[in-house]
Amino acid sequence: MANRHTSLWLPLLLLVSTGGLMGLTNNLVKQAVASGWQPLSFLMLSLLGSGLLLALLAVARGEYPGLHKQHFRYYLVAALLSASLPHSLLFSAVTHTGAGFASICLAFPPLFTYLMALSLNMERLRPLRLAGLLFGLLGAVLLTLDKFAGANPSPWALALLCTPVLLALGNIYRTRHWPAGASPLSLAPGMLLAAALQLLPVVLLGGAPWLPEQGGRAVPAQLAAQTALFALTYALFFLLQRIAGPVYLSQVGAVAAIAGTAIAVGLLGESASPAMLLALLAVIGGVLLVSLNPPTPGDRHGN
């Protein structure tokens, strides 16, 4: 009985914790950029610091990151799909679109992840999950129409709408190609360090200063906070993926949308239109319908 309760509550606890941390990230990034940080410099240094932090923790626990060819391929591809590309879009766009819009965009990966899992025969089609997809798509349409109503679509908003597809691809890739015998903690630092490496030439070629010229004590505090956020987020993220699979994992975006939008509206003073609130409710309802009908043991989640 204890194992059954653990199997039910541990994924939910990880889901809420990881999503809440992701929601904090959007708002912290907006504040950091307002303090003078260049978005990609802030992202690269945060990824580098969190990767090193998790690598030290993994070694201390005896969970050494793999150094074989398959591991390096996994780190690089997972980093591109799950960290460097989507976070570059997020960090660069958040000051143009607002943290609330950036957060709610994170609610869409469950829909795309489920469709991809279906097409790859990793999950079976179920009526409740199909209904959840339709609710989620309704939310996406409401959000998009609200953002672009009465104005030309912002290039930054359009770019942010690409992030759910990238994140869904990352969810599927990390599951199907999880190296045999690897622990979650041994894989997380490799992905974060690979993402920092991928961003290094972009930051160098951009010619922007790595650190803000002004900002005082807030500068190191913001970097330390984001580094800690990334480290904790991805340690929990990989653990959740290992025990619950890609579709359940992808629901962290919905939790991030709730947390991020609440923080943006409640603490940062961003406006919340009725259409955005309806979109958020539709996406949440869709995610709940998806999660109410879990996969059977016959479904394949990878290794």
Residues 6 or more apart whose Cβ sits within 8 Å of residue 299: 122, 123, 124, 245
Q: What stretches of the chain adopt beta strand conformation (E)?
A: none
Mean pLDDT of the 27-56 span: 89
Q: Is 243 left (phi over 0), alpha (psi -120 to 50) or beta?
A: alpha
pLDDT in tens, 227-238: 999 999 999 999
Using CB atoms within 10 A of its CB, is residue 77 exposed (0-12), middle (13-18) or buried (19+)? middle
More confident residue, 38 or 149: 38
Cβ–Cβ contacts within 10 Å for residue 206, how many?
12
**Dist. CA 24–CA 29, nearest whole Å:** 9
Does residue 81 have a pLDDT over 90?
yes
Does residue 152 have a pLDDT over 70?
no
pLDDT in tens, 285-297: 877 776 666 655 5
46-50, 166-170, 209-213, 260-264 — which is least confidently predicted?
Answer: 260-264
- Rounded mean pLDDT of the chain? 81
pLDDT in tens, 244-262: 888 888 878 777 777 776 7
pLDDT range class, residue 1, cuts 50, 70, 90: very low
> According to the model, what pLDDT value does residue 252 have?
83
Name the residue with tokens 């240094």. Answer: 45
DSSP label of 152: P
DSSP label of 179: P
> According to the model, what pLDDT value does residue 288 have?
75
> According to the model, what pLDDT value does residue 237 have?
93
Predicted structure pTM score: 0.82
